A and B are shown apart, each in its own frame.
Chain A
Amino acid sequence: MKLDVDALRNDFPILQQRVYGKPLIYLDNAATTQKPREVIQAITNFYEQLNSNVHRGNHYLSAKATDTMEQARNDIASFIHAPNPEEIIFTHGTTESINLVAYGFAKSLLQPGDEIIISALEHHSNLVPWQQVCLQKGAHLKVIPLDDTGQIRFDAFQNLISDRTRLIALAHVSNVLGTILPIEEVIKIAHQNGIPVLIDGAQAVQHLPVDVSQLDCDFYAFSGHKIYGPMGIGILYAKSSWLQKLPPFQFGGEMIDIVSFEKTIFSDIPFKFEAGTPNVEGVIGLAAALKYLNRIGLDNIFDYETELFHYALNVLSQINGVHIVGNAQKRCSVISFLIDHIHPYDSGTLLDQFGIAVRSGNHCAQPLMNVLDVPGTVRASLSFYNTREEIDALASAIEKVKNFFL
């Protein structure tokens, strides 16, 4: 089945608007995706019909809200093929998901001299937590270097593994280069050495079919708002054996079983990691987004986006003076580029005026910018609601930007 993109675009109210009098061309999907009407409606419905606190009251509304939220947990678990819904933890976003694991490791598993491996292309959110934990515990952060294409160097990765490696934390897809990392192979090698692996899936779940059971990763983190759901809801998938092992991240209500003034017995998983009233509207909105995607068909989305991605690569690389940053063999959805002699800030500012939303800057990956030796990049990131016409409009706006600065 081919996607009827024109029809799908009508599901997204925000895409109908004009900016600076021009039709909005939204190519900043790696920062956040737009929300289909169903998601917005699900949130409205929650407040109009269900609003009450979950897991507490024994009244009708509370029971119904709890059921709806726990059903959403099931739906989210099935979406990424997690074996048990209790392995799905609700957080604020990818950043909090990663911090939850980093905190747990620092608290009870890391010793001075231990090592954590990340890669040179990580977003700050999968870098700074590990760096800080290492500083705190006297552990060492090891960084897998990149090859010329923007892919991690697998030989270097294997050489970094030692008997002190306690965790490997890697992006599934780079938010700057679009590189798809060979996480299957990494996980296999890591497990042969008894090392757990955390995957930052913030740029992957919305584009690639993700099966955490098949991947066999120990942790998988992603954000609701980058997969057409609301902001402020994130997911941490973790194998239950790890969730049993890790200490709670925050303390308070909802996560306790028995409390006296002297001590507390914590709830079982997943609740021991969900202190306080959860973001129920976020959970419900995210489940609505996943339902929407399932209806379109993840394979259909993948096929369409792959085709559009290659079309965009082709169109942009044919523009004189445009250089695409990174050319890994396996890539998706994100294209970073530079225009000769024009600072990314200048190109980004003008493209905005043409109604084109792209991102310019370091994309929260300053160390990667240093490795690439660029002042930043302009980044166009795609969704299934983008069209070839929009890519053509980007190309023609780039020509205008070039003329302006010449």
Chain B
Amino acid sequence: MQSIQEKADQIVKELNQFDDWLDKYQYIIDKGKELPTAGLEIKIDENLISGCQSKVWLTSEYRDGRVYFKGESDALITRGLVSMVIQVYSGCTPDEILSFEPKFIEQAGLSQHLSPTRNNGLLSMIKQIKLYALAWKIRNNPSTLKK
């Protein structure tokens, strides 16, 4: 199984293969199509990450020491970004998620092409992923709180 770093590196490699920005966005949108159709059930306010431009819903599950994410968005490009972020973080342990710095966003040229507010949308997605990881970690090991 790929490590979180390997998964991030793969995204960076795939996104940097394009010279034409249209191809790059096409790739991002296609990524969105790979997103398991989480469907309507996760599109509830409780799962909504507030962002100015488009809506993102995110949920998580915990199985055998690993966190799995599901996500949705009402915009296609954002859905692709959600898909890539989930591809990187899903299936990792809470500790892996919490300690991983999301440098791949910059390396994949996404901060260059997405304006700061949109980039913040990506960053708030990752912040939410880390919050889920932290919540699962504490739930399964309450002693971490006592430190």
Contacts and interface: CB of A to CB of B under 8 A. Distances in A.
B25 A345 contact: no
Given A361-B52, A376-B53, A349 B77 contact: yes
Contacts of B26: 404
B116 to A, nearest CB: 13
Interface in B39-66: 52-55
Contacts of B21: 20, 353
Contact of B25 (A20, A342, A343, A349): A349
Contacts, number: 43
A362 B74 contact: no
Interface in B97-121: 113-115, 118
A375 interface: yes
B1 interface: no
B78 interface: yes
A91 interface: no
B54 A343 contact: yes
A147 interface: no
A405 B52 contact: no
B145 interface: no
A340 interface: no
Contact of A375 (B22, B74, B118): B74
Given A20-B21, A343-B74, A343-B76, A349 B118 contact: yes
B75 interface: yes
Interface in A51-95: none
A350 B52 contact: no
A350 B52 CA distance: 17
A177 B112 CA distance: 31
A38 interface: no
A352 interface: yes
B55 A375 contact: yes
**Count class of interface residues, chain B:** 10 to 19
A360 B74 CA distance: 14
Given A375-B55, A376-B53, A346 B113 contact: no
Contacts of A360: 53
A344 B74 CA distance: 10
A375 B76 contact: no
Nearest to A359: B53
Interface string A338-375: 00001111101110110000001110000000000001
Given A20-B21, A361-B52, A361-B53, A345 B113 contact: no
Interface in B1-54: 21-22, 25-26, 52-54
Contacts of A375: 54-55, 74
Contacts of B118: 345, 349
A352 B115 contact: yes
Interface string B60-89: 000000000000001111100000000000
Given A345-B75, A346-B75, 9 more contacts: A342-B76, A343-B74, A343-B78, A345-B53, A346-B77, A349-B77, A350-B25, A353-B22, A361-B53
Interface of B: 21-22, 25-26, 52-55, 74-78, 113-115, 118
21 contacts: A20-B21, A343-B78, A344-B53, A344-B75, A345-B53, A345-B54, A345-B75, A345-B77, A345-B118, A346-B75, A349-B25, A349-B118, A352-B115, A353-B21, A353-B25, A360-B53, A361-B53, A362-B52, A375-B55, A376-B54, A404-B26
Return the 7 tightest CB-CB contacts between A and B, nearest first: A343-B75, A345-B54, A345-B75, A345-B53, A361-B53, A346-B75, A346-B77
